[in-house]
Amino acid sequence: MFEFKKTSQLLRRRTVIRASVAGLVVILMLGILVSRLWYLQVVRYEGLAARADQNRIAVVPIPPRRGEVVDRNGVVLARNYRDYTLMVTPARVEGGIESMLDELSTLVYISARDRRRFLQSLGKTSRYAQVVLRNNLNEIEASWFAAHSFKFPGVELQARWVREYPQGESAAHVIGYVGRISQADEQQLEEEGRLGNYRGTSIIGKKGIEKTWEEVLHGQTGLEEVEVTASGRPVRVLNRVDPIPGADLQLSIDIGLQKHAESLFEGRRGALVAIEPATGEVLAFVSAPSFDPNLFVDGIDVDNWRKLNESPDHPLINRPLFGTYPIGSTYKPFVALAALEMGKRKAHERIPDPGYFEFGGQRFRNAGGAAYGWTDMHRALVVSSDTYFYSLGPEIGVDALHDFSKQFGFGQITGIDLEGERRGILPSREWKRKAYKNPSQQRWYAGETVSVVVGQGYNSFTLLQLAQATSVLANDGVYMKPHLVQHIVDPATGEKTATVTEPSHVIPLKQENIDVVKRALVDVTRTGTARRAFANAPYQAAGKTGTAQVFSLRGAKYNASTIDERLRDHALFMAYAPADNPKIAVGLIVENAGWGATVAAPVARSVFDYWLIERGNLLQ
């Protein structure tokens, strides 16, 4: 009996101890839970609340409408249209990417190229970033996918702005094109602090005006704060900041003149730039042959890229901006003006022209072996006497000629609103010292100046520089910076802002010296080397023909029929019209076409006829 009672007491004691321990454990756990809740609800409230909002609120960027580009008369050169695109967020795809692609292909056409590019893009981006799968879905495809979209988590149909160039190949080197944003583009945007403004945007300007004026054209990205479910389905829009569309650009180009000038280069290689002297506005900017910028908008395919890139005619090269050439006798008016300004030669002073000039034991001959007898400056320009200008070389000197010519833009960056402009070569003693490493090649020889003054030798200029120099000469030394964008147009108000309004500088020239050169250039088209091209013109033009060697004949006689076509002389011409009130100035080259008088001058005549007569600018 005693043993039973003792055992019962022991059991009760153990039960009490166990209950007490359990109670303490429960109280301790409750205390920990309460303290944790207090920590989360009070101490960490702000941070966790923000994270919770991020989990239920998606910030969706709204890309702005890209600004349009029009010519001086409002003709559209670059515009936007809406289409549909399939975007994929890899992290949300169920069942694997390949499986999704196979199933989706039964509903919407996905080419092998689309699939390949999509899979390549996956390895370059985050699993949570959207990747383009297919562009340019039509209305039927878009509606068909929308009806079955619930089967494809992670795949989204989006409307987007697409760039289009309705003029095709015309003015392609001016307008340029847009393309997909590359990693290099992203890196540059990040370095410039502009990457945030490109969230949701897939394209960026790559060439031409599209690239140079990218910031203005792009606009400001907007955003929507959208409440979403755990699966990512949107519930409602909580907040919206509308995007600001990019500004429109009105170019100085006249697309009618542009197409007319381009037609004159059909089947030929060359370049032409036409400028309005009083304003510096570029009226036409031809690089032949050209290309279709629409090919680049969504990424050019391999076949088209190979055709363009491997063509011996190099259609992708912007010839007026990037190509550099010896400009031959079109340089002579500026050499003549330099001689007058420096007092090295009087206009009426005559020298004998037996058909050659001897210097340093070497004979420098006139083109075609012509001999003009006693020749003054006026006659030398009209008939294009090389001998007369050869004789000016040692008198002027290369450094003095360099310093004079650079004021007109030769060998300089003109500052036109296109990227990729080349400086070319305006030779001087200093230039040669820097250009060659071998000390024996660094010395400048006086005989080299003889070639330079007739636009040959080391001279290498862009056609833009020739056109600009012609424009400045026509404008009596007033240098208006050449530009393609005439106005920036506010898309909301339509307000226009001019880009260039004042001269960059004025070359200090004596008017009587300018008049000497100008009178000679008028007679070039009246009785000189360009007389046939401008016969019966209803206006008076002024100009200078030029023919430039592509390679040295080393004393041999030039015969175009026996020389490879791409080694034949270039045909050049510089001119402005009307002579007494210039409305247009041009510099042009037809590559490997022979004489400037027979090939290049007629091109300028046709351009002048169109602009002054057909467009009615002669009477303005």
Give the 3-state DSSP-derived string for 154-207, with helices as H, strands as E and coil as C.
Answer: CEEEEEEEEEECCCCCCCHHHHCEEEECCHHHHHHHHHCCCHHHHCCCCEEEEE
Say which range, 139-143, 278-282, 489-493, has the weakest mean pLDDT.
139-143
Give the integer Cα–Cα distance in Å for 172 and 60: 34
Backbone φ, ψ for residue 328 (5° rounding): 60, -140
Instruction: Kindly state the average pLDDT of the residues 439-460.
Output: 92
- Above 60 in pLDDT, residue 321? yes
- Nearest to 66, CA basis, from 175, 201, 182: 201
pLDDT in tens, 388-410: 999 999 999 999 999 999 999 99
Instruction: Kindly state the average pLDDT of the residues 476-505.
Output: 95
pLDDT in tens, 169-214: 999 999 999 998 888 999 999 999 999 899 888 899 999 999 999 9
How many CB atoms lie under 10 A from the CB of residue 520? Answer: 23
Question: CA 210 → CA 193, 213, 255, 295, distances in Å?
Answer: 20, 6, 17, 15
CB 197 within 8 Å of CB 204: no
* Residue 554 pLDDT grade (very low, low, confident, very high; cuts 50, 70, 90): very low
Catalytic residue among 329, 405, 428, 451: 329
Instruction: Kindly state the average pLDDT of the residues 241-270.
Output: 96
Give the integer Cα–Cα distance in Å for 466 and 131: 47
Q: What is the pLDDT of residue 556?
A: 43
Name the one residue in this structure whose structure tokens are 């042959």. 289
- Taking phi over 0 as left and psi of -120 to 50 as alpha, with beta for the rest, 183 belongs to alpha
Partner residues linked to 425 by β-bridges: 460
Which of 6-10, 110-114, 508-512 is modeled with the greatest confidence? Answer: 508-512
| 570-577 and 542-548 beta bridge pairing | antiparallel
> Is position 329 annotated as part of the catalytic site?
yes
pLDDT in tens, 59-93: 778 889 999 999 999 999 999 988 888 888 887 88
Q: What is the pLDDT of residue 558?
A: 44
Give the integer Cα–Cα distance in Å for 114 and 475: 54
- Above 90 in pLDDT, residue 585? yes
* Residue 233 pLDDT grade (very low, low, confident, very high; cuts 50, 70, 90): low
Q: What is the pLDDT of residue 565?
A: 66
- Nearest to 608, CA basis, from 580, 584, 592: 584
Partner residues linked to 112 by β-bridges: none
DSSP run (H or E) holding 546: strand 542-548
DSSP run (H or E) holding 511: helix 511-526
* Residue 47 pLDDT grade (very low, low, confident, very high; cuts 50, 70, 90): low
- Taking phi over 0 as left and psi of -120 to 50 as alpha, with beta for the rest, 460 belongs to beta
Instruction: Kindly state the average pLDDT of the residues 5-18.
Output: 69
* Residue 42 pLDDT grade (very low, low, confident, very high; cuts 50, 70, 90): low
Instruction: Kindly state the average pLDDT of the residues 506-524.
Output: 97
DSSP string covering 302-346, please?
Answer: HHHHHHHHH-TT-TTS-HHHH--B--GGGGHHHHHHHHHHTTSS-
Provide the H-helix boundaries in 123-160. Answer: 139-148
- Above 50 in pLDDT, residue 474? yes
How many CB atoms lie under 10 A from the CB of residue 602? Answer: 18
* Residue 258 pLDDT grade (very low, low, confident, very high; cuts 50, 70, 90): very high
| 69-70 and 248-251 beta bridge pairing | parallel
Give the integer Cα–Cα distance in Å for 538 and 372: 30
Give the integer Cα–Cα distance in Å for 200 and 206: 18
Six token digits for residue 179 = 């393309």
Mean pLDDT over the full length of the chain: 88
Q: What is the pLDDT of residue 35?
A: 72
If one compares 104 and 500, the residue with the highest pLDDT of the two is 500
Give the integer Cα–Cα distance in Å for 603 and 595: 12
Q: What is the pLDDT of residue 572?
A: 95
pLDDT in tens, 237-246: 778 888 999 9
pLDDT in tens, 208-225: 999 999 999 999 999 877
Written as one letter, the residue type at 542 is: A
What Rg value do the Cα atoms of the chain yield, rounded? 36
| 69-70 and 57-62 beta bridge pairing | unpaired
Residue partners of 511: CB distance under 8 A and separation at least 6 = 476
CA geometry: angle 268, 270, 275, nearest 5 deg: 130
Residue partners of 436: CB distance under 8 A and separation at least 6 = 442
Q: What is the pLDDT of residue 537?
A: 96
Instruction: Kindly state the average pLDDT of the residues 154-173.
Output: 90
DSSP string covering 595-612, please?
Answer: -IIIIIHHHHHHHHIIII
If one compares 542 and 50, the residue with the highest pLDDT of the two is 542
